[in-house]
Structure formats: structure tokens, C-alpha cells
Structure 1
């Protein structure tokens, strides 16, 4: 059994959350490089240690050791170098959950090039925007929907010299990625001199999902991966030589939160299911079949699972489950525990951060709470004057950076000094989310600042109302937004997709309203309900409440 976690932390074991929060520290050299210092070191000291277990809908299965990851990442690094990719160059990846993603990310870290993971669901204007604004030099993609023609059209529109690589295909104008890398050497020397990769260099850029406005480029340093040690070790509770799975496509930041950096540093393998079309039951079956020990998924997946017939499934190999991405409806948490015996532990973070607040190992899950702050960040809830609010009062989640910047907090909004100045000032990074803290130190998420509903003097967070609406048997999905009102300023509106077999009616609206009044504070109930077939979402699956509000304002 081997783990490299002790190379980067002052201590591994802690007696309590208080001990952890006060004493946990991450240390690293000035030239830290995840590719060489983690992957290649594992390949040296324990070459047969399992890194990645991969399967797909055709029941293909591959198991890769750290020695394999070293070999393939070196081949890719040599290929990229021959194509002119060097330190600081941008490489865009639309690889779904192909195993090549993991090798390629490691290769880019070794070179010091900048990875830009993206979803395969991008449209032409999304691709144009990313290639132009990030100055992308090379892409590696799967052949999916219109990705290939859209990349070609984007290259034509932008007039850019773009190296285009596709997985396992022979296409005109494209390099067959798998054939190309097989021809390369599996040895790659660590760069030195001007090419040496330093801990403060940019390694990764994510485009925010853009719930309002255009996506921003969030640039992370080489130390970003180290910032995920608390994510994996003390929240996911990954096991040394165990198997972890986080349900996430590689286009989203959640994929490297849960299936890459922290898990490997802490000594766990990761399991990847590369599906064509999502099916929650099939995912659960794959997780059980492959003996996954620790599991993380967004609340939507847990919500799907409890509505299916999963009684009788064997959860005995799964020891710990977690969730993040949006608040977990208490009803979902209760029902999943009844079925599986497992309590879901919540976490909170952003594209700009690693895990920031969570129900860590030593503390019990409290329904409605996202947990307590990570030791990496000095989290404070501040009012509009940057003053810390009292217990029970609402404040913006902020990170105090006046005493230094921890690994895991982003370096900058790339090429966007205005956004940087707006969010990062007066010694704080302002997250833009509102929350309150209870007397036990647990933090309760309310919502994005722009999404808070102000009605008759009350401030109402959308998530708590959505949770109440979703607990009605007729509701499949729901978005809560503010609707303008002359008397109250704003009222609560529910935009609802119904479960199959239900039809929208005035009677059903009244039934849902009364249900919400019973399960939460009556003043929060939706005075306006609209039944729809579709709710606007970002390409990362987050509800675009701003679009609903804008459409409602146009109707006024």
C-alpha cells in the first residue's frame, strides 16, 4: 500500500474537525509538477498500483496502472512537443469520459502547457468564443454530434492555425490521436531552464458556465491539484488502494475535483464510466459491479435514484457518499439513507476554488447545511461593508486572502482585470453567494446574490423553496425565481416540469402551494406557478434563473 499524501501535508491524521481546521497545512516545492511529482513517482515506487478503471456501454474494460499513465502521458507529451506545444500554450479537450483525458492532462502538466477541458455539448459559438479568447493552439476531441464540423467551421471563421486531433478516427484534416502517440517514445525528460514548470504557473483554465453574462476564464496554478487533498481525503474519504467514483463529465471542473488530483495523491484508484446516454440505474449497477468504495454525485442523480426502484441493491462496498454542485433537498437525503443506510455529506465550492465548505469526516451531516469551512480557506460571511455578520444573519461567502493565498484558490480571471477587481478586493475574494451560520458553526447556503428573492421585507433563497416544491410527488424539476410585483416588490415564482402522468391545472397549482406551506415557512410559498416542458439551463446543467427572470420582465 502506497500513498504520496505525506509528501505534501504536515499531518495526515487528526482527532477532530477543530484539530484539522487549525493544524492542517499543505507544503510543496517551488517547482511542483503533478505529472512528475505524483504520477511518475508512483510509477517508480509502486508501478503496478491501480490508477484508473474504465468501462463503457459496450462493456469494454481497461485497467491502467500508474506505470501505464506515466508511459502514455510521456508519449503524448512528446507528440505535443513535436507539434510545437510548449509551456504556456493552450490545449482544448472535449473528450467526454474517454480514458485519454487522464493521460493528456498529465502530459500537459509535464510540459507546462495549459489544459482547457470543455464539454462535448458545446455549440459553434461556444467553440468560437473559447478558441479566440484563450488563443487555443491544439485540440483533442471525440467525434460527437457536430463537434468535428463545428471545430472546422470555427477554424475557418477565426482563420487560426489550429492542430486538430481526434480519438481513434481517420478523418481528412485531422490527426488520429491514438495512432500518432503510439509512434512516440515513452520517455520524457523533466523540462529545465526557461521551460521549467513552476508552482505558480497556470496549468488549467475553466470557462465558467455563465449563469449570467458571458463565460469567464478561470485560471488555476500548478498547485490547484494539491488543493484537492482535503476534497479527497477528508470529505470523499477515499481509501488507500480503494476505488472512488465521482459522477461527472470531464468538461466540468467536478471531474478533476473527484476523479483526478486528490484521489490519486491520497492513494485511491478512480473508476470511470464512459456512457453514451446517462442512465442512473446503469450507473449504480456499474458502481456496484466495480466495487467502488466512495461515491460522489450531484443532488440530481440522488434525486433520480430515490425515485427508481433501488431497494435490494447491494450497497455494502460503498462506505461513504457525498454531493456538491447545488444544495441537497433534505427529503432526498432522508430517503437515500433509508434505502442505502448511507448519509450523504454535502460540500460547496466553485470553479474558482477547490472544496471550500463541507461536512468533513469528523462532523455529522446536518440537514440543510453545507458543513464547515475547509482549513485551506479563512471563510467569512460579510455584509456590504465587508463586516463579518453575526450568527444567524445572512452574509456573502468570502475568503480572506490578506494573510496569503492557499493552494486551490484560482490565480486570476484570465484576460479580465475588471472581473478580477470586482470579485477580489480589500483583502477578500468575494464568492458572490449568500449564506448564514448557525450556533454550531455550520454554514447554510441561501443562493447566488442575484437569485435572492426580496418579497415584503423577507429575503428568500431559491434552493429551500425548490426543495419544498420538489418533495411534491407530481414535480420532476423546478426553478424558483423572483417575479416583479407592485405591492410586494417581488413574489416567488415556481417554474415546474411535471412527472409523467400529471397534467397542469389550477387545482394542482393550489395543491403544490399548500404542500409548500406545510413543509417550509408559509411566506416562502410560490404565489405564481408556471408549468413548462423545459427549464433553461447552462451547458453544465445549472438552471439559468436569469433567463427566466428576463423573460418574465419582458412580459410585464
Structure 2
């Protein structure tokens, strides 16, 4: 059996059989890793060893930590884990917090001590918290005291959970009290490169959440593949963003990428458009990570903030409409760097550098990854043909004890659930999630393409497009639209929007029904929940088609 530092071997024992793993590719020099490596040595300890401990690392409204101060805090937490909490390498630890320095310190401490992090979104309710607690057999949790109510409710639903440590209060048994007298020295556990260190749970939009298992080497690979080759940030950069750290887009973009190169990051507990813009201006952030919806929302507020420090903006989490790309570029001169990632793959695997961006395209495979478009039988389709996206590289899907592994991995490829077209130049063009394709009167229509067309009209602030049942066509294209200020719903506006879509894309794709809503259903990471719109459309029965 291969070496592991884990005393508690639950994670390794519950990996899928190796014949169900995707193929892993390490065909570039920057992706060569030793058999034993603890990723925290590379993210944190190395900067102390190289004499850069006094450089800023984590910046927040409450405190700023240099690499040295973070190093000491992480080590103190490691010692509390081992000496006070009975922790052994391989234990899974649940984290619940907003984005703040203590959350990052605990995260790194669990990894450094050889443990496995299971981070959760702050807004989850008790039942949703209990699911990963039970699935991953978690005995220990760390929680911001402001989130204690749902955490305490989850206790009664999770029989394995023995201890919850809170922080942020003055409690005698709080984390701050526990680490006060702990040693600031701790040697990283000698973990294997393929020891599990993170179980990221999916959002559960297609059923029960799936636990995606990632190794120490994976944490480095996403930095060295995407961040090193595509983002190309510098140690002088200051990162900022809105995604929660429990969302792997946020973990990579706001924590791992800057720490891999010794840069600094600005952590915000609230990162709406005003807070994000204000903090960019205040802290002179240079690299921003957020979703297309957020960039679109910030456009109307740019005049009130000085964001001239920004030089790179990354967009992921949902498709980037060409109209949003162009509007952001016109307003700021910055090209939004689109990318597609997946919790199963840990981070972005298709993207483009600024000088290679083609607006509307996601880009090309990140160096180190391979991608192709395949048909239902797994055979590659020619350029220009629609099919399912398949990808492989240094990271890939390994579900925690889940039969759905067989659906995601086929013949060594990760089948992401996205529908794409690859052009003659090797650029990938997003069409829809595979279950978001609308088949109406024999035509295949991608909901996101119709959304992108609607978003080019000034009346549309947000929209979601799905198939709705129809007596005549079986299914029609239906749009749910949130109007921009100053516009009122009505038949005239509906016809205007329908005609606008007909002028933007093939006329048969226009929304034959439009419903105006106050808000769209979204996940906690900001993704549009089209499955919820489909459910609503189905419940409403046969949609009333509006002639156009």
C-alpha cells in the first residue's frame, strides 16, 4: 500500500476504485511534485524560510496579518488541534465562517497538521450542515460564533460530531483562549502528495451534494497550471473577490493563488458591489475574482469609486455574456478573463490570457489540461459540432463513496455536464449545461445564448431562460426577466424584447413567453438556478405563449 501520513484513513478508504479515476496528466515541468509534500509548506512556510515573513499576506477590515504572523497563528492552532483536541492526521474538520483571516488560519492549520478540510457556506441551515458532517464522519468543527445557531441545531442531526470550537467571542473555551498559550512552532506533517486534504461538497443542484476529494498536490497544481500560466499575477499584486472560501473558485482565487507567489489578499465578509468596489479603491486591489452577475452590477456604480489600481479581472462561476465583457471593457479598459472550472476539478481548466481572449469564448484548455467535445457515445465530434465537454489534466474527479463517480468519469475523461462547441482554432464556446439545452419544435436552443441576447437590451438587468411546457410545440423558450430601473413590464416591452432577441441571434430562438420577476433564484455562490426556474415553469403548467 502506498505511503500515507493519515492515521485516520477514512478519506483514503472511501476514494473510488482506481479503475473509476480519471487519467491524471503531469506533462509539464511546473506540475512535477515529490511523492511527499504538505501544501502548507509551499503556501506559507517557504516565505518564512526565504526571509519574506514581514510581507503582508491577509488584509481585512479587522486586522492585517503578515506571512510571519499568519505562520505563528497557524502553528498555534496546529498545536491546539494535536494537544488539546485529540486530532490525528486524516481527521476531517468542518469549517464555518465568512471570509476572514481566522478562517484562513484554521484552514491552513488543518492541512498542515495532516487533516482534511470540509468548508461550508455561511448561510447553510442545520440540515444542510449535517449532511457533510454525516457523509464525511466528522468529529470536530470550527465555527465563527456568529453562525452558532444553525451549528448547534446541526449537532443533534450529526451523531459523529463530538466537539465544536467557536471563535470571535471572549468565551473561555473559545479558539482565541485556546491558542493564547500554544507554541508558535509546529513542523508540517509529512503528508503524501496524494493524501486527501480537502473534501469540497457540490451545491447539490442535481441531487444530493457530492463530496469531491482533493489531494495536497491538487492544491498546488491549480496554482501552477491556471494561475501561473494564464493569470500570471505578481508578488506585488493584491487579490480581492466575492466568492466564499467554501467555494473552490474563492479558495483558489482569493487564498491559494496569492499565497503561492507570496502576494497579498483582501478578505471581505460582505462583498456586494458597493463593498467590493469600496475595498478595491481603499486597498488598491489589482486582481479581482467574482461572477459575471457581480461585474454587471458594478458597472452602474463605477463612477463613485476609484478602481484604477485594478489590472486583472477574472470571471467564473457562470457563463460570461459577451455584452458584459464588452460593457466592462468599455468602462474600465480591462478584459474580463473568463474561465470554466468545477468543484470536481478544483478550479479553472479552460480560459485564455488577456492577449488571446475572444469575447464570447471561454478560451482554450489551461496548460496542463486537455479538452474535447464528444457525442453521447464518447467519440470526439468535429469542430463546429455541439457536444459534451470532456477534460483531463493534473486534477480530476474522485467522489467520496458515491456511485455517481461512474457518471462523471468515462474512459479516463471528466465529463463536466457542460455542452460546448470547439471551433477550428481550438477555442471552446459554451452553449449550456447539458441539462439546460431546450429542444423546441425540433430545434436545439441553448438557454444561456438567449440570456446573453436579452442582456444586451438596456431594460434587462438579469434574466434566466428555460424550456416551458407548451401544447403546440411541446416545449417553448421562456424567459424570466428582472427589469432595470426605469422600465415597466407590459405587452409592449415583451414584444420589444422578443424583437431584440430576433435581431441578435437566430429568430427561432426568441423567448415565446416572458415573465417579469423581482429576483432570480441563485445559489449562495451566485449561480443562476435554472433547475429552479424549470421547476417553476413546470408548476405553472402550460405557459401562455405571447405572439411576436
Shift of 1:317: 2.4
Give the CA deviation at 1:279: 3.5
2:428 matched residue in structure 1: 443
Q: Give the deviation of 1:550 after TM superposition.
A: 2.5
For the residues of structure 2 that align with 1:200 and 1:331, how far apart are their CA atoms?
42
Unmatched segments (≥5 aa) in structure 1: 1-20, 401-405
Equivalent positions of 1:14-413 (< 5 A) are 25-56=30-61, 60=62, 62-81=63-82, 82-144=84-146, 147-170=147-170, 175-191=173-189, 196-228=190-222, 229-275=224-270, 278-308=271-301, 310-311=302-303, 313-353=305-345, 354-360=347-353, 363-400=355-392, 406-410=393-397, 412-413=398-399
The count of corresponding residues between Structure 1 and Structure 2 is: 513
RMSD of the TM alignment (CA)?
2.1
Query: 1:3: which partner in 2?
Result: none
CA contact (8 A) 2:57 2:259 kept: no
- The 1:209/1:161 distance shift into structure 2, 3 A limit, reads closer
Look up the match of 2:8: none
CA distance in 2, matches of 1:226, 1:409: 14
Structure 1 98/253 Cα, relative in aligned 2: closer, same or farther at 3 Å?
same
Question: What per-residue deviation string (whole Å, max 9, x for no partner) do you get for residues 68-101 of structure 1?
Answer: 2221111111111120122121111111111012
Give how far 1:315 is off: 4.0
Instruction: Within 5 Å, give how 1:402-551 maps onto structure 2.
Output: 406-410=393-397, 412-416=398-402, 418-551=403-536
SS of 1:259's partner is helix
Report how far residue 170 of structure 1 moved.
4.2
Structure 1 residues 506 and 421: alpha-carbon distance in aligned structure 2, compared to 1, 3 A threshold: same
- How far apart are the structure 2 equivalents of 1:175 and 1:408? 39
**Alpha-carbon shift at residue 63 of structure 1 (Å):** 2.7
Q: CA deviation at 1:143?
A: 3.2
Unaligned stretches of 5+ residues in structure 2: 1-25, 542-548
TM-score (norm 1): 0.87
TM-score, structure 2 normalization:
0.89
Question: Does the CA-based 8 Å contact 1:472-1:515 persist in structure 2?
Answer: yes
Contact 1:238 1:293 in 2 (8 A): no
Partners of 2:133 and 2:161 within 8 A in 1: no
Q: 1:175 & 1:90 partners in 2: Cα distance?
A: 21
In structure 2, the CA distance between the partners of 1:312 and 1:94, relative to structure 1 (3 Å rule), is closer
Asked whether the equivalents of residues 434 and 445 of structure 1 are also in contact (C-alpha less than 8 Å), the reply is yes
Q: CA deviation at 1:536?
A: 2.3
Match of 1:9 in 2: none
How far has the Cα of 1:312 moved from its partner?
Answer: 7.4
Q: Is the 8 A contact 1:324 1:346 kept in 2?
A: yes
Q: Check the 8 A contact 2:396/2:414 in 1, yes or no.
A: no
Deviations 1:471-529 (A, max 9, x none): 22222221110112344332111012223443322222112111211222212111011
SS of structure 2 residue aligned to 1:273: coil
